[in-house]
Structure 1
Amino acid sequence: MSTELDKTFDPAAIEAKWYSHWEENGLFRPERPDAVPFTIVNPPPNVTGSLHIGHALDNTLQDIVVRYERLRGKDALWVVGTDHAGIATQMVVERQLEERQDKRTNYSREDFVAKVWKWKAESGGQITRQLRRLGCSMDWSREQFTMDPHFTRAVVKVFVDLYNQGLIYRDKRLVNWDPKLKTAISDLEVETRETQGGFWHYKYPLADGAMLDSGADHIVVATTRPETMLADMAVAVHPEDERYRSVIGKDILQPITGRRLKVVADEHADPELGSGAVKVTPGHDFNDFEVGKRAGIRPAEMLNMFDAEARVVQTADGLIPQEFVGLDRFDARKLVVERMKEQGFLIPHVDKDGNEHDAEPRTIQTPYGDRGGVVIEPWLTDQWYVDAATLAQPPMQAVRDGRIEIVPKTWEKTFFNWMENIQPWCVSRQLWWGHRIPAWYDEDGKVYVAETEEEAQALAGDKALSRDPDVLDTWFSSALWPFATLGWPDTANPPRDGEVAARSADAGGSQPGEATAESPLHHPAGGPPPRAGEDLLSRHYPNDLLISGFDILFFWDARMAMQGMHFMGEVPWKRLYLHGLVRAPDGQKMSKSKGNVVDPLGLIDKYGADALRFFMAAMESQGRDIKMDDRRVEGYRNFATKLWNATRFCQANGIGASNSIKAPPARLAANQWIIGEIAQTVTKLDAAMADLRFDAAANTIYHFTWDRFCDWYLELIKPVFQGDEESPAAVETRAVAGWALDQILVMLHPFMPFITEELWHAQGDRSYELILAKWPEPEASVDAAATDAIDWVIQLTTATRAARSELGISPGAKLAAFCPAPSPLAQRVVERSAAAIERLARLTPIAFGEAPAGAAMQVAAGGDVFIVPLEGVIDTEAEKARLSKARDASVKERDSLGKRLGNPAFVEKAKPEAIEKARADHAHHSAEVERLEAALARLG
Structure 2
Amino acid sequence: MSNQNLTTSIQAALQQLENAYHPATVEAGMYQGWEDNGYFAPTFDKEESFSIALPPPNVTGSLHMGHGFNNTIMDALTRFHRMNGENTLWQPGTDHAGIATQMVVERRLNAEGIKRHDLGRDAFVDKVWEWKEESGGNITSQIRRLGSSVDWTRERFTMDDGLSNAVQEVFVRLFDDGLIYRGKRLVNWDPNFQSALSDLEVENHDEKGSLWHFRYHFTDSDVTTQDGKNYLVVATTRPETLLGDTAVAVNPSDERYAHLIGKTVTLPITERVVPIVADDYVESDFGTGCVKITPAHDFNDYELGRRHNLPLINILDAQAHILPEMQVYPDLQTREPSLETTPERYAGLERFEARKQLVAEATENDWLEAIEDYALKAPRGDRSGVIVEPWLTDQWYVAVEKLAKPAIEAVEDGSIEFVPAQYKNMYMAWMTDLQDWCISRQLWWGHRIPAWYNEAGNIYVARDEAEVRSKYNLGADVTLTQDNDVLDTWFSSALWTFSTLGWADGSADPRVMATFHPTSVLVTGFDIIFFWVARMIMMTLYFVKNDDGSAQIPFKTVYVHGLVRDGNGQKMSKSKGNVLDPIDIIDGIDLESLVAKRTSNMMNPKDAAKIEKQTRKEFVDGIPAYGTDALRFTFTSLASTGRDINFDLKRVEGYRNFCNKIWNASRFVLMNCVDKEGNAKPIDQSANSDVWELPERWIMSRLNSTISDIRQHFAQYRLDMVSQDIYEFIWNEYCDWYVELAKASLNDDAVSDERKAQIRYVLLHVLETALRFTHPIMPYLTEEVWQTIAPLLGRKDTDSIVVAAYPQANDAQISEQVEADMAWLQEMIASIRNIRGEMKLGNAVRLPVLLQGITQDETDRLARIENQFKALAKVDSLDILSTDDTAPLSSSSMVGQLRVLVPMKGLIDPTAELNRLGKAQEKLQKQADGIARKLGNEGFVSKAPADVVEAERAKLAELEGQLDTMNAQIEQLKAL
TM-score range, shorter chain: 0.7 to 0.9
Q: Report the Cα offset of residue 80 of structure 1.
A: 0.6
Matched, 1:820 2:852: yes
Give the AA of the match of 2:851.
Answer: C
Give the Cα separation in 2 of the matches to 1:483 and 1:658.
52
Residues 783 and 303 of structure 1, relative CA distance in 2, 3 Å threshold: closer
One-letter amino acid matched to 2:421:
K
Q: Distance in 2 between matches of 1:13 and 1:653?
A: 25
CA distance in structure 2 between the aligned counterparts of 1:243 and 1:833, rounded to whole angstroms: 87
In the TM superposition, 1:899-938 aligns within 5 A as 934-938=961-965
One-letter identity of the residue aligned with 2:376: I
What is the identity, as a one-letter code, of the residue corresponding to 1:219? L
Matched residues in 1 for 2:373 and 2:89: separation?
57
Check whether the contact 2:831–2:900 (CA below 8 A) recurs between aligned residues. no
Partners of 1:26 and 1:328 in 2: how far apart?
Answer: 59
Verify the 8 A CA contact 2:61 2:135 in the aligned structure 1: no
Give the Å deviation of 1:927: 9.8
Amino acid of the structure 2 residue aligned with 1:223: T
Deviations 1:694-721 (A, max 9, x none): 1111101100000000000000011332
TM-score relative to the length of structure 1: 0.87
SS in 1 for 2:316: coil
SS at match of 1:711: helix
Task: Tell me the secondary structure at the aligned position of residue 545 of structure 1.
Answer: strand
User: What is the one-letter code of the residue matched to 1:126?
Assistant: N
Structure 2 CA distance for partners of 1:876 and 1:842, relative to 1, 3 Å: farther
Query: What is the CA deviation profile of residues 453-506 of structure 1, one whole-angstrom value per residue up to 9, with x for unaligned ones?
Result: 11212315233221110000011100111111111135753xxxxxxxxxxxxx
The answer to which of 802-811 and 606-615 deviates more is 802-811
- Between the aligned partners of 1:832 and 1:306, the Cα distance in structure 2 is 88
From 753, 759, 774, give the equivalent of 1:727.
753
Q: Name the residue aligned to 1:939.
A: 966
Task: Determine if contact 2:225/2:231 at 8 Å carries over to the other structure.
Answer: no
Contact 2:850-2:901 at 8 Å conserved across structures: yes
- Contact in 1 for aligned 2:894/2:900 (Cα 8 Å): yes
TM-score where L is the length of structure 2: 0.84
Match of 2:497 among 468, 482, 486: 482
Shift of 1:361: 1.7
Is the alpha carbon distance of 1:936 and 1:191 closer, same or farther for their aligned partners in structure 2, counting shifts above 3 Å?
Answer: same
Opposite residue 939 of structure 1, the aligned amino acid is: M
* Residue 496 (structure 1) aligns with: none
Confirm whether residue 321 of structure 1 aligns to residue 357 of structure 2: no
The 1:571–1:379 alpha-carbon spacing in structure 2 relative to 1, beyond 3 Å, is same
Q: Contact 2:50 / 2:519 at 8 angstroms: preserved in 1?
A: yes
Aligned to 1:93: 105
- Partner in structure 1 of residue 155 of structure 2: 143
Q: Distance in 1 between matches of 2:347 and 2:114?
A: 29
Task: State the SS of the aligned residue for 1:49.
Answer: coil
Going from structure 1 to structure 2, the CA distance change for 1:929 and 1:791 (only over 3 Å counts) comes to farther
Q: Which moved more, 1:198-207 or 1:30-39?
A: 30-39
* Structure 2 equivalent of residue 671 of structure 1: 696
**What letter matches 2:305 in structure 1?**
G
Could you report, residue by residue, the CA deviation over 1:145-179 in whole angstroms, capped at 9, with x for unpaired residues? 00010101111111111111221111111111111
- Equivalent AA in structure 2 for residue 636 of structure 1: Y
Select between 858-867 and 604-613 the one with higher mean Cα deviation.
858-867
> What per-residue deviation string (whole Å, max 9, x for no partner) do you get for residues 416-447 of structure 1?
11111111111100001100111111222221
Equivalent residue in structure 1 for 2:916, among 878, 892, 898? 878
Question: C-alpha displacement at 1:870, in angstroms?
Answer: 3.5
Identify the residue that residue 560 of structure 2 maps to in structure 1: 578
Q: Could you say what the CA RMSD is over the residues aligned between the two structures, in angstroms?
A: 2.8
Number of the residue aligned with 1:716: 741
TM superposition shift of 1:877: 5.8
Report the residue type matching 1:199 in the other structure.
Answer: L
Equivalent position of 1:240 in the other structure: 253
Structure 1 residues 221, 889: closer, same or farther in 2, change over 3 A?
A: farther
Q: What amino acid sits opposite 1:582 in the alignment?
A: V
Contact kept, 8 Å, 2:688 with 2:758, in 1: the verdict is no
Aligned to 1:790: 822
Equivalent pair of 2:683/2:758 in contact (CA under 8 Å): no
- Paired letter, 2:852: P
Distance 1:416 1:41 in 2: 23
* Aligned match of 2:319: 309
Q: Unaligned 5+ residue runs, structure 2?
A: 1-8, 328-338, 545-550, 588-624, 675-679, 932-946, 968-976
Show the counterpart of 1:70: 82
8 Å Cα contact 2:662/2:730 also seen in 1: yes
Q: Which amino acid aligns with 2:349?
A: L
Q: CA offset at residue 764 of structure 1? A: 5.0
Contact residue 925 and residue 963 of structure 2 kept, 8 A: no
Identical aligned residues as a percent: 42
Task: State the one-letter code of the partner of 1:544.
Answer: S
Residue identity matched to 2:320: A
Supply the distance in 2 between the matched residues of 1:620 and 1:439 (Cα, whole angstroms).
45
Partners of 2:683 and 2:760 within 8 A in 1: no
| Contact 1:281/1:289 (8 A) holds in 2 | yes
Q: Deviations over 1:761-802 (max 9, x none)?
A: 122543421111111125342245543433322121123223
Matches within 5 A, 1:569-718: 569-605=551-587, 606-654=625-673, 667-718=692-743
Whether the 8 Å CA contact 1:876–1:939 is kept in 2: the answer is: no
Cα gap change, 1:932 to 1:728, in 2 (>3 Å): farther
CA distance in 1, matches of 2:416, 2:218: 57
Structure 2 letter corresponding to 1:869: P
The amino acid that maps onto 2:312 is M
How big is each residue's C-alpha offset from its partner over 1:76-95, in whole Å with a ceiling of 9 and x where there is no partner? Answer: 11111000111111112111
Indicate the residue corresponding to 2:239 in structure 1: 226
Give, in angstroms, the shift of residue 929 of structure 1: 8.6
Q: Compared with structure 1, are the counterparts of its residues 18 and 666 closer, same or farther at alpha carbon in structure 2 (3 Å cutoff)? A: farther
Contact 2:321 2:349 in 1 (8 A): yes
C-alpha distance in 2 between matches for 1:661 and 1:34: 29
Question: Is structure 2 residue 812 aligned with structure 1 residue 836?
Answer: no
Structure 1 residue matching 2:314: 3-state secondary structure: coil
Aligned to 1:190: 202
Residue 470 (str. 1) matches residue 485 (str. 2) = yes
Match of 2:216 in 1: 204
Asked if 2 retains the 8 angstrom alpha-carbon contact of 1:280 and 1:288, the reply is: yes
Distance 2:951 2:726 in 1: 27
8 Å CA contact 1:664, 1:739 repeated in 2? no
- Corresponding residue to 1:108 among 120, 123, 129: 120
- How many residue pairs match? The answer is 861
The one-character-per-residue Cα deviations of 1:121-142 (angstroms, maximum 9, x if unpaired) are: 2332211111111111111110
Deviation per CA, 1:552-607: give whole Å up to 9, x if none.
11111111111111212122111111111111111111111111112211111221
Q: Find the counterpart in structure 2 of residue 859 from structure 1.
A: 893
SS at match of 2:340: coil
Q: How far 1:676 moved relative to its partner?
A: 0.7
Distance in 2 separating the partners of 1:483 and 1:800: 63
Q: Do 2:90 and 2:151's aligned partners in 1 also have CA atoms closer than 8 Å? A: yes
C-alpha deviations, 1:291-318, integer Å up to 9, x for none? 1111113xxx511111111111120342
Answer yes or no: is 1:868 the counterpart of 2:927.
no
Q: 1:460 to 1:809 in 2, by over 3 A?
A: farther
Q: Trace 1:399-414 onto structure 2 (pairs within 5 A).
A: 399-414=411-426
Task: Specify whether residues 162 and 731 from structure 1 end up closer, same or farther in structure 2 by C-alpha distance, changes over 3 A only.
Answer: same
Q: Tell me the equivalent position of 1:339.
A: 361
Distance 1:489 1:882, change over 3 A: farther
Q: Secondary structure, in 3 states, of the residue corresponding to 2:185?
A: strand
1:553 to 521, 529, 545: 529
For the structure 1 residues 338 and 447, does the alpha-carbon distance in structure 2 shift closer, same or farther, using more than 3 Å as the test? same
Q: Which residue of 2 aligns with 1:259?
A: 272
User: Which residue of structure 2 lines up, in the alignment, with residue 761 of structure 1?
Assistant: 787
Larger deviation, residues 627-636 vs 600-609 = 600-609
Say if 2:225 and 2:256, in contact at 8 Å, map to a contact too: yes
In structure 2, C-alpha distance between the alignment counterparts of 1:426 and 1:154, rounded to whole Å: 19
Write the distance in 2 (CA, Å) between the matches of 1:886 and 1:559. 66
Residues 248 and 834 (structure 1 numbering): CA distance in 2 closer, same or farther, change over 3 Å? Answer: closer
